[in-house]
Amino acid sequence: MSVYTQLTDDQFATFCQRFGISFARAIPITQGIKNSNWFIQTTEDNDGAHSYVFTLFEERPPEDIEKMAVILNQLQGKLPVAAPLALMDSGVDSDADVKGDKRYVIHYDNKAITLVPCLAGSHPQQTSQSMCHEIGAALAVLHETLQALQPSEQYGVPLYPWSEVRDREMQFMPGDEAKLMSDIWQSYTELPLATLPKGLCHLDMFADNTLWNLSLNNSQKGHEHLTGLLDFTEVSVEHYVMDIAITVNDFCTTWGDAEQGESVNFDRDKMAAFLQGYESKRMLGNDEKKALPVMLAKAAVIFWLLRLNVIHYNRTEGRTGDNIMVKNPDLMKRLAAYHWAQVETAQDMVFVLEHARYDDDNSDNDIEDLKLIGVFATKQQAKAAIEQLKQQPGFKDYPKGFHIDAYPLGQINWSSGFVVY
């Protein structure tokens, strides 16, 4: 969140009155990079306190924000969310096709304004495995709960045309960066996208879009509790595993200072905790699990492009000032490179399927016969070969003889010589 559009106190007072709120003071919020946001202190708040968040959406049209209000209402009671307040004069900004419904959005200069209650808690500076487990479970509840809104395309906003940003930005990238982005994008297109489960997704569940009760004493450390989920402006129909990848990328990464050359540290133990939490509410399919490594890389590419896009529009539209915060795209580039290295390592593995015939089909006995069945690109292919062969003559008498070994390509897997006895 930043402040791009400037409003006067008189404007704040007028807008807040339409929500039934008595305005006293607006305090700019500088985290984030897309919308203009302020904390609103009312005449009933104590000094230093604030009860609401006032958001002016710089890019999303008002009709998209109306959809967001319905989504938050659907989640209310199942997850800690802040639903927008309804307008007291709901007919003023209504469209003809929704007249009579509650309205949650003020239209101002072709932009949308909402007012939501503040949620308790703080943004975490660091995450723990227990926090990753809890946010994983919360994301699964979100995915399951929003399935009730059908057709889902009616509630989600259109996905941003990131391929257009990619094409623009790659023209100015060094060759190695452009190749990295191109390779990841190509690998993404080769996934079984048509059959991967999809539905309404948050698509921006970073740690700074969550709140936690972090004011715990030392004896309570490790028991942080989720108190708020924020920023539902990007909810779109997307593959669930992409939403998982976006959230994992932030919650499971310790971000360094890109300008000083510090590395991006991804914690795979945190990712395991996240996935355990997620699967406590919704089980992942095998195709989703196989797609996750590439999705992690693609998600990093999307946020790399997002930050480059913000820089582009700040420059072309002359956005400047202390209230404008720009996140460094290099951090996401480095995370994309890390994930892609993991994908390439996995792609450089082969799976060798053999069948050993032991006396009495007991692996503790000597091998009487060894057959090389085949070399496969994936473990799943090797397992499928076992299913195909295990009822064939001979194999069905020795069903325990199948075994699969993974070998990296281009490496010697024998470290010494041998002795003949």
Give the Cα separation of 407 and 299 in Å (integer): 29
pLDDT of residue 99: 37
**Beta-carbon count within 10 A of 393 CB:** 6
CATH 3.30.200.20 assigned to domain 9-117? The reply is yes
Same fold, 9-117 and 129-346: no
pLDDT of residue 322: 55
Contact 30, 3 (CB under 8 A): yes
Instruction: Quote the crossing angle between the two packed helices 175-189 and 286-316, to the nearest 10°.
Output: 140
- For the chain of 421 residues, list the mean pLDDT of each consecutive stretch of 10: 79 95 91 80 88 90 88 93 87 45 86 93 93 98 97 92 95 93 94 96 96 72 86 93 98 78 86 97 96 97 94 79 70 94 84 86 77 87 90 90 85 80 75
Q: Using alpha carbons, select from 250, 291, 290 the residue that is nearest to residue 270.
A: 250
Phi, psi dihedrals of residue 350, rounded to the nearest 5°? -125, 155
Give the Cα separation of 239 and 197 in Å (integer): 6
Retrieve residue 421's tokens. 């006895």
Query: What top-level class would CATH report for the domain 129-346?
Result: alpha beta
Give the Cα separation of 243 and 139 in Å (integer): 8
Counting Cβ atoms within 10 Å, is residue 165 exposed (0-12), middle (13-18) or buried (19+)? middle
Instruction: Pick left, alpha or beta for residue 344 (phi over 0 → left; psi -120 to 50 → alpha; otherwise beta).
Output: alpha
Counting Cβ atoms within 10 Å, is residue 172 exposed (0-12), middle (13-18) or buried (19+)? exposed
Q: Which residue has the tokens 């295990």?
A: 390
pLDDT of residue 366: 77
pLDDT of residue 10: 95
- Buried-exposed string 282-293: b where 16+ CB fall within 10 A, e elsewhere: bebeeebebbbb
Q: Is the model's pTM score more than 0.85?
A: no
pLDDT of residue 400: 87
**Beta-carbon count within 10 A of 415 CB:** 5
Domain limits, the chain? 9-117, 129-346, 349-408
Contact 112, 60 (CB under 8 A): yes
pLDDT of residue 146: 97
User: Could you give the angle at the alpha carbon of 56 between the alpha carbons of 51 and 60, nearest 5°?
Assistant: 130
**Beta-carbon count within 10 A of 267 CB:** 17
Rg of the chain, C-alpha, whole Å: 26
pLDDT of residue 2: 59
* Helix H or strand E segment including 349: strand 349-358
The residue length of the chain stands at 421
